[in-house]
Structure 1
Amino acid sequence: MWTSAQAGVNVTETNMNIPKEEKVSIGNICKASCLCGSAPCLLCGCCPSSYNSTVTRLLFSFFLLLGTLVSVIMILPGMETQLRKIPGFCQGGTTIPGVENHVNCDVIVGYKSVYRMCFAMACFFFLFSAIMIRVKSSKDPRAAIQNGFWFFKFLILVGITVGAFFIPDGTFHDVWFYFGIVGSFMFILIQLILLIDFAHSWNEVWMRNAEEGNSKCWFSGLLFFTILHYALAFAAIVLFYLYYTKPDNCTEHKFFISFNLILCVIISVLSILPKVQDASPQSGLLQSSIITMYTMYVTWSAMTNNPNRECNPSLLSLVSNISTTEAMPTSSPGMVQWWDAQGIVGLVIFLFCTFYASIRSSSNAQVNRLMQTEEGKGTVGGEEVGKDGLRRVVDNEEDGVTYNYSFFHFHLLLASLYIMMTLTNWYKPDTTTQAMQSTMPAVWVKISSSWLSLGLYLWTLVAPVIFPNRDFN
C-alpha cells in the first residue's frame, strides 16, 4: 500500500539494487501517482533534492508562465491572419464547402485573448487563494490539494480558460481593465518588496563572505554594483529630462522625475545614517541603489503611458528618423504593440520576481512580515533515502508552512493582472472603435505606486529606530 509520502518519490536507480522488473513496476506506480501525488514526484531523476514547498511554488509559477506564453503568442501581429487561413475555422475566413465557420477569431487573438487568458488565470489563483486560507501545516487536508493533484489542476485551468473565451464582449474588457489597473498597482508594490528582500539577502551574503574570506574582493564587488546601479539611475534621469520633457510642456513629467529623484536621495542618505545602521545593520547603499534604479524604471514606465505624444516619444523615434506619430500608430483591433522596451523590461522584471518568489528563503524579518511569509519555521532537513533505497524529497512543512499558501496564490493572481496590463501596454480598450488608447489613469497608478514603494522601503529603514523595543532582526 503506497502512502502519500511514497507518492512523492523522486526515483533514482543508482542507489539501489532492485530487479529490473520491480524497477519498472515502481516507476509505473510513481507515474500514475503523480496525477494525485505530491509535487516532488514530478521531479526527474537528475534533479537535485528539494523541499516540497519549493517545488510546489515552482509548479504554480510554471502555470502562470505557461499562460503568459500563450498570451504572448496570441497577441503577436499576424496571428489572426494565420488563423483565418485554416479552412473551416474562423468566421469570415477560408471555408470548406458544407462546413460553417463558427469560431470568432477576433476574440482569440489580440488584446481580447490576453484579457480572457489572464481572466482565467486570475480566477484559477483566486480559487486556490480562497481554499488555502489559514492552512498552518502539511497535516491540514487542504495541504494535499496544494502540493498534489497537478493533472487535475491543469484540467481546471484549461476549463476556466475555455469558458473565458465564451464571455460576451459587452463591457467585459472595460470593467476588467480597471481590475487590471488595481491589481497591477498592488503587484508593483510586491515587486518592490521582493526586490528589497533580494537586496537585503545579497548584501547579507556578500558581507558574510567578506568576513569569512577575501574581504577586499567581496567589498570591492559590493562597491562596484552599488556604483553601477546609481550610475544607471543617474543616466536614466538625464535621458528622461532630455527626451521626456519640453521647455514649455510636459510639466507632469518634470515633476515626476524631480520628485522621485529627491525621494531616492533621501532614502540613500537615511540608509547610511549612524542611528539607522545601529538599529538595522543589514541596511546599506546597495539596497538603496537597487530601489533607486527600480524607481527610475517605474517612472519611465509611467511616462510611456502619457497620451501626449509630444511628451512620450517612442524609443524607435529616438534612434531613427521616424516621427513619433509614425513610430506609435493607433492600435488597431486585435493588435497591440507590447514589444517595445517598456513592455520587455516589465516582463523581465516580472519573470525575475516570480522566480524569486518561488525559491525565496529569506532571513529578513521585516520583509517576511510584509510578504506574509514564515520562512524557516518548517522542518529543516535534506535528502532522505527510504529502506527501499528510493530518494525522497523532504516534507518541510509538518510543523508549519514555510510560506502563506493563500497569499502566494493572491500574489500570482495579481501577477496575472500585471501581465495583462503589460502585454496591452496599459492601454484602455475603446468599446466603440475596438481600439486601444493610452490613458492618464495608468500614468498616475504607476507613479503613485512608485511613491508608495519608496514609502515601504523608507519604513524598513526607520521602523527599527522609531520602535527600538520591537524585534526587527
Structure 2
Amino acid sequence: MGAVLGLCSAAQLACCCGSAACSLCCSACPSCANSTSTRLMYAVMLLLVMIAACVTLAPGLHDEMKKVPFCKNSTHYIPGDLKVDCDQAVGYLAVYRICFAACLFFVLMALITIGVKSSKDPRAGIQNGFWGIKYLLVIGGIIGAFFIPEGQFASTWMVFGMIGGFGFIVIQLILIIDFAHSWAERWVSNYEESQSRTWYAALLLAMLTCYALAITGVVLLYVYYTKSSGCDLSKFFISFNLILVVLASGISILPSVQEHQPRSGLLQSAVVSLYVMYLTWSALSNADKACNGITGGSNESSFDKQSIIGLVIWVCSVLYSSIRTASSSSKITMSDHILAKDGNGEGADGGEAGRGEEAKVFDNEGDGVAYSWTFFHVVFALATLYIMMTLTNWYNPSSQLSKENVASMWIKITSSWLCVGLYVWTLVAPAVFPDREFN
C-alpha cells in the first residue's frame, strides 16, 4: 500500500514539469484517488519543511558557515562589498523564519479553499495541482522570511507558535484516541461476524504486546531516569502516569461503560497506555540532566541516539496526525461530513477526471469533497507551528534539539495527562449523557 501511495505522489511530482512528463509517469503507476495523492503531496511538503528546520539546528553548522566567503564573520576573504549575516541562517531564529513562511502558505490555502463543495469548483485546481508553483512559493517565502528584521519578530511569533502548537497537540491526542477506538472496534467487529479464533488471537496478542511494551517502558524509565536519591520529580511523573493508565484500563472494563460501549475494552487502553509512556519518556528526556542515565549528565551533541529515536517517532506522529485529520475532520469539528469516497472512484463525474482507463489519478470528489479542504490546511498550519515550537523548546527557545529544558518537559507531561483525560471522557461520556449519540 505504501508503495502504491508513493508512486501516486511521484506521479504528481512529475506533473510539475508539464503534461508530457505527467502522461509518461502516470502511465506506469497504479491508479489512486485524487484526494489521497493531494494529501500525500502536502505531507511531503510539510516533511521537507521539517527537514529544512532540523538542518538549521545541526551541530557544527554555525562553525561551518564561517568558511563561506560571503558571510560577515567568514574566515575566508572575498573581494567586494557583498556580505551576508550568516548567523541568521542557523539556530532557532532560522527555524522561526522557515516555519513562518510555511505557516502563511497553509493559511493562504485555507482562505482560498473556503466553501469549496466539489472538484467542479474552479478553485479545485489550486488545491490539487500547480505543485511546481506551490513549492516555488514556499521556497520564495522562506528566503523572504530571512530578510525580516529581528526586532520583536521572535518574541511575537513565539506567542502565535505556542497557541497554535497547543491547538495541534489537542488535535493530535484526539486522533490518537480515535485510532485506538477505530482499531479495536474494527477487529472486534471482525471477530463477532466471523467467530474466528484468528481474530480473537490477534486481539489478545495486540493488547498484550502494547501492555508489555508499556510496562517495559515504565521499568526502563525507572532505571535510566531516576536515582536512588534525588530525581523526585521524575519518580513522580512515572508513578503518577502509571497510576493514571491503570485507572483508565480499569474504567474501560466497568459494567456501566460496557453497557453503553460493548466494544470498549483493554486494547484501546493498551494503545493509550503505550502512547502515554512515550510522552513520559519524551518529557523526561528534557528533565534535569543529572537524572538522565542515558546521557549521564554529559554535554553531548544535540543529535545523540536518544534524540534521533525520539525525533523519528515524533515525525511519524506529526505526519500521521496531519494526514489523518482529513478523514477524521467530522469527529473533530462535530460536523456530519464523513470521508466516504477517499479510496474509490464512486461519485466522480465520469468525465475526463473520472475513472477512465487512462486516468491513473482519478477524481473522486466530483459530487462532493472527500474532506474539508479548509480545515485540512488549518491543521497543517497548526502542525507547522507545533514543529517550530518543539524543535526550539517552546517558551525557552534554544538552538539545540536536545537539552535540559523545563518548558518542553512540562508541555509534554501535561500532554500525557490530557491524553488520559480525553480517553477516559470518551469512555464515560455515553454513560453520563445516555440521551446523546456518540459515534
- TM-score under structure 1 normalisation? 0.77
Deviation at 1:246, TM superposition (A): 4.6
Structure 1 SS opposite 2:86: coil
Indicate yes or no: 2:52 matched with 1:70.
yes
Q: What is the alpha-carbon distance in structure 2 between the residues aligned to residue 219 and residue 353 of structure 1? A: 31
Question: Structure 1 pair 388/250, CA: closer, same or farther in 2 (3 Å)?
Answer: closer
**How does 1:92-131 map onto structure 2 within 5 Å?**
92-95=73-76, 97-131=78-112
- The residue number in structure 2 matching 1:261 is 242
**Residues 345 and 362, structure 2, Cα contact 8 Å, conserved in 1:** yes
Q: What is the alpha-carbon distance in structure 2 between the residues aligned to residue 154 and residue 457 of structure 1? A: 38
Query: Among 281, 292, 310, which residue is 2:290 paired with?
Result: 310
Indicate yes or no: 2:383 matched with 1:424.
no
Q: What is the alpha-carbon distance in structure 2 between the residues aligned to residue 420 and residue 437 of structure 1? A: 16
Indicate yes or no: 2:382 matched with 1:414.
yes
Indicate yes or no: 2:18 matched with 1:32.
yes
- The residue number in structure 1 matching 2:319 is 354
**Residues 49 and 102, structure 2, Cα contact 8 Å, conserved in 1:** yes
Question: Structure 1 pair 261/66, CA: closer, same or farther in 2 (3 Å)?
Answer: same
- The residue number in structure 2 matching 1:52 is 34
Query: Among 397, 410, 424, which residue is 1:444 paired with?
Result: 410
Q: What is the alpha-carbon distance in structure 2 between the residues aligned to residue 63 and residue 144 of structure 1? A: 18
Q: What is the alpha-carbon distance in structure 1 between the residues aligned to residue 57 and residue 128 of structure 2? A: 32
Structure 2 residue identity aligned to 1:315: I
Indicate yes or no: 2:432 matched with 1:466.
yes
- The residue number in structure 2 matching 1:455 is 421
- The residue number in structure 1 matching 2:168 is 187
**Residues 267 and 458, structure 1, Cα contact 8 Å, conserved in 2:** yes
Deviation at 1:270, TM superposition (A): 1.8
Structure 1 residue identity aligned to 2:60: G
Q: What is the alpha-carbon distance in structure 2 between the residues aligned to residue 406 and residue 435 of structure 1? A: 32
Unmatched runs of 5 consecutive residues or more in structure 1: 1-9, 11-27, 318-323, 330-335
Deviation at 1:63, TM superposition (A): 0.7
**Residues 53 and 95, structure 2, Cα contact 8 Å, conserved in 1:** yes
Q: What is the alpha-carbon distance in structure 1 between the residues aligned to residue 89 and residue 148 of structure 2? A: 11
Query: Deviations for 1:165-204, whole angstroms, at most 9, x for unmatched residues?
Result: 1123334334434443333333232222222232233223
- The residue number in structure 2 matching 1:221 is 202
Query: Deviations for 1:91-120, whole angstroms, at most 9, x for unmatched residues?
Result: 222545423342222111233322221222
Structure 2 residue identity aligned to 1:289: A
Structure 2 SS opposite 1:407: helix
Larger radius of gyration: 1
Structure 2 SS opposite 1:428: coil
Deviation at 1:159, TM superposition (A): 1.6
Question: Structure 1 pair 178/438, CA: closer, same or farther in 2 (3 Å)?
Answer: farther
Structure 2 SS opposite 1:375: coil
Deviation at 1:79, TM superposition (A): 2.6
**Residues 226 and 235, structure 2, Cα contact 8 Å, conserved in 1:** yes
Query: Among 140, 151, 168, which residue is 1:159 paired with?
Result: 140
Deviation at 1:258, TM superposition (A): 2.6
**Residues 305 and 443, structure 1, Cα contact 8 Å, conserved in 2:** yes
| Structure with the bigger percentage of helix | 2
Q: What is the alpha-carbon distance in structure 2 between the residues aligned to residue 209 and residue 44 of structure 1? A: 36
**How does 1:236-255 map onto structure 2 within 5 Å?**
236-246=217-227, 249-255=230-236
Structure 2 SS opposite 1:263: helix
Q: What is the alpha-carbon distance in structure 2 between the residues aligned to residue 181 and residue 42 of structure 1? A: 45
Indicate yes or no: 2:349 matched with 1:370.
no
**Residues 377 and 400, structure 1, Cα contact 8 Å, conserved in 2:** no
Quick check: 156-165 or 245-254, which moved more?
245-254
Q: What is the alpha-carbon distance in structure 2 between the residues aligned to residue 194 and residue 257 of structure 1? A: 24
Query: Deviations for 1:95-153, whole angstroms, at most 9, x for unmatched residues?
Result: 45423342222111233322221222122212222333343333443333222222221
Q: What is the alpha-carbon distance in structure 1 between the residues aligned to residue 402 and residue 362 of structure 2? A: 49
RMSD over aligned Cα atoms: 3.6
Deviation at 1:339, TM superposition (A): 4.6
- The residue number in structure 1 matching 2:4 is none
Unmatched runs of 5 consecutive residues or more in structure 2: 1-7, 9-13
Q: What is the alpha-carbon distance in structure 2 between the residues aligned to residue 147 and residue 400 of structure 1? A: 14
**Residues 326 and 372, structure 2, Cα contact 8 Å, conserved in 1:** no
Query: Deviations for 1:345-381, whole angstroms, at most 9, x for unmatched residues?
Result: 244243244146436786x8xx842266733355852
Quick check: 188-197 or 202-211, which moved more?
202-211
Structure 1 SS opposite 2:87: coil
**Residues 54 and 358, structure 1, Cα contact 8 Å, conserved in 2:** no
Deviation at 1:61, TM superposition (A): 0.9
Q: What is the alpha-carbon distance in structure 2 between the residues aligned to residue 454 and residue 162 of structure 1? A: 41
Q: What is the alpha-carbon distance in structure 2 between the residues aligned to residue 130 and residue 361 of structure 1? A: 17
Q: What is the alpha-carbon distance in structure 1 between the residues aligned to residue 16 and residue 237 of structure 2? A: 57
Structure 1 residue identity aligned to 2:428: V
**How does 1:266-277 map onto structure 2 within 5 Å?**
266-277=247-258
Structure 2 residue identity aligned to 1:390: E
Quick check: 351-360 or 445-454, which moved more?
351-360
Query: Among 319, 322, 328, which residue is 2:299 paired with?
Result: 328
**Residues 427 and 439, structure 1, Cα contact 8 Å, conserved in 2:** no
Quick check: 265-274 or 138-147, which moved more?
138-147
Alignment identity in percent?
45
Deviation at 1:67, TM superposition (A): 1.0
Q: What is the alpha-carbon distance in structure 2 between the residues aligned to residue 255 and residue 140 of structure 1? A: 55
Query: Among 344, 354, 376, which residue is 2:309 paired with?
Result: 344
Quick check: 387-396 or 447-456, which moved more?
387-396
Q: What is the alpha-carbon distance in structure 2 between the residues aligned to residue 286 and residue 126 of structure 1? A: 37
Q: What is the alpha-carbon distance in structure 2 between the residues aligned to residue 42 and residue 277 of structure 1? A: 55
Deviation at 1:62, TM superposition (A): 0.9
- The residue number in structure 2 matching 1:20 is none
Q: How many residues align?
A: 421
Deviation at 1:389, TM superposition (A): 5.0
